[in-house]
Amino acid sequence: MMNNFMRLGVGVLGSAFALLMYGAPITTFKRVIEKRSTESFSGLPYTIALFNCLLYTFYGSPLISNGWDNIVVMVVNAIGLLLECCFVCIYLLFAPPKPKRKMTGMVACALVVFVTIVIASFCGVHDHKQKKVLVGTAGIVATVILYASPLSVIKSVIQTNSVEFMPSFYFSLFAFLGSVLWMVYGALSRDIVIMTPNFVGVPLGLAQMVLYCFYRNKNSLRVEDAKLVDRGPPLEPTKEKCEENSEEDNGNCQSYEEDIEMQLKI
């Protein structure tokens, strides 16, 4: 009885962080809508999240799980599925032609794989336990890829010293906290399908936060340096001001014009 109570409590907390993780890209897509462009944002994390939500909504349903044992898993991923559908649609709406084709291909592949798994679980596998293993294995792979997907832009982050187009810090934070809770939930439920991918997700989420914090600080320094460069040296009095000055300042006027010529050459 106590184990079931603890499992439910951890599941509710895990669900809350999972929803925060799925909702974290809202700020990113607010920017996409305002600028009417996806810029250099990758669509991979949202495609993987969509696929992951599809699988775990199916896995948590009575069709695969034992009755309503995993209703918490089903509900949170069903809500996540709605969010990810919105994000994918917005991405496809504002993406340039090449990224749009790439995103369409990834979403199509994810849907084909999911439909194949559903058909196989009903037509190819008749034992309930084997169905759970089939869908659960696919879910493990999808979840590990989901937690690792923000690292797909690691090369760009290192080259540019910028985390501008990396998924937000909150995505990584909520993924890390959610992984810890879902790992505990899986252990209490003795469900290896839930426990395993989240066991892998803990170090991956931590690595993303470290990467984000490290390069965010570098980016802040780079921006400050750029601002200092943009300001340039203190401006000399304008030519009009020089002409208004007395004859004693004529030398300053000539110096002003020479400085302008030198800056143009530079």
Measure the CA–CA gap between 147 and 149, rounded to whole angstroms. Answer: 6
How many CB atoms within 10 Å of residue 74?
Answer: 21
Any residues with CB less than 8 A from the CB of 150 and at least 6 apart, and which? 45, 166, 167, 171, 172, 208
How many CB atoms within 10 Å of residue 100?
Answer: 16
pLDDT in tens, 179-192: 899 899 888 888 88
Q: What is the mean pLDDT of residues 159-177?
A: 79
Measure the CA–CA gap between 251 and 245, rounded to whole angstroms. Answer: 11
Distance, C-alpha 172 to centroid of its chain: 7
Q: What is the pLDDT of residue 266?
A: 47
Q: C-alpha angle 205/209/212, rounded to 5°? A: 135
Q: What is the pLDDT of residue 188?
A: 86
Average pLDDT, the chain: 79
